Amino acid sequence: MRQRWDGDRDPLAALAAGQPALFEDFVAKEAGTLLGFFRRLGADPVEAEDLFQETILKLFRGAKNYQQSGRFDAYAFRAARNVWIDSRRRSAVRERSAGAAVDDGGQVVESAPGNEPEPFEGLELEERSKRLLQAVRGLDEAHRAAFELGVIQGLPYSEVALLLDVPVGTIKSRVFHAVKRLRDDLERGGSL
């Protein structure tokens, strides 16, 4: 975020108090920051705009229940991150159901013919991916979140620190230890 949006400059606290000008100022000044955040996560420009609007709407609708604690910019990034995660979940559900046959009641009954992969296609890569995914799932939540955001999604550590509301040094340490643990786990289970 380009500006500090906390204390007496908290956009949601102002909005909840019936003063929308500060929230409007936040939307105008931070649109580029949030759009860039979604683009770095892999969204195309149209999807990034949709996710930005969904985030702003989520913040706006939640203003009446908002309890000011901590930094607003971190709160806004967490809301944006949650919108991103929700969109990925919706996308995954659509992809899984795209090749499925549906009965008259809307229930999935079977996969549509022709959508199954070849029996041995990518088997080795799939096995490697499974081992890596299992190793990542074995990390505790703090290390997994830092690893996924900083390494897998490629966010700058400063943004990861904002999202997780911890110092940048803590993020660096968590990523370092996560990578070390993943390497150790994978070496014990066979090389990738």
Model pLDDT for residues 38-73, shown as the tens digit of each residue: 887 778 899 999 999 999 999 999 988 888 877 788
CATH number of the domain located at residue range(s) 125-186 in this protein: 1.10.10.10
Distance CA 11, CA 14 (A): 5
More confident residue, 167 or 98: 167
**Max avg pLDDT among 10-14, 136-140, 166-170:** 166-170
Is residue 9 within 8 Å of 22, Cβ to Cβ? yes
User: Tell me, what's the pLDDT at 191?
Assistant: 47
- The total of other beta-carbon atoms located within 10 Å of residue 34's CB is 23
* Mean pLDDT value across residues 8-32: 90
Q: What is the pLDDT of residues 171-188, one digit of tens each?
A: 999 999 999 998 888 888
State the residue for tokens 């549509």: 112
Is 1-99 a CATH 1.10.1740.10 domain?
A: yes
Q: Would you list the domain boundaries of the chain?
A: 1-99, 125-186
Percent of the chain past pLDDT 70, that is, above it, reads 77
Q: Which DSSP string do the residues of 72-134 spell out, in sequence order?
A: HHHHHHHHHHHHHHHHHHHHHHHHHHHTEEE-TTS-EEEEPTT-SPPTTTTHHHHHHHHHHHH
